[in-house]
Amino acid sequence: MPPIGATLSGFETKGWFGIVAPTGTPPEIIQKVYRDTKTVLDDPRFRARVSAMGLTPIGDTPEEMGQAMKVESERYATVVRQRKLRMD
């Protein structure tokens, strides 16, 4: 299968992982999960292990992650509309 950029000129995508919580989760819980996760992501031993797998830990804030997810969703929605894609 060709890369997406070969089919949609200039389109690039990267895989990512994130931790999400249900809408309505109390902000203090969101912040605790973020702080605890960031502690792990900043650990040199963890960074070395994921780097060995070809991954780069980022550790965005919950707000940055939400914005990134919104932008990504909008990008794919544009492609779906332009290409008139649909699921049968």
Closest CA to 40 of 16, 14, 22, 58: 58
Amino acid at 6: A
* pLDDT in 10s for each residue of the chain, 88 residues: 777 777 777 777 778 899 999 999 999 999 999 999 999 999 999 999 999 999 999 999 999 999 999 998 998 898 888 888 888 7
Query: Given CA atoms 23, 26, 31, 34 in this order, what sign does their dihedral have?
Result: negative
Q: How far is CA 17 from CA 58, 59, 65, 67, in A?
A: 10, 10, 10, 14
Cβ neighbour number for residue 21 with a 10 Å cutoff: 11
pTM, 2 dp: 0.74
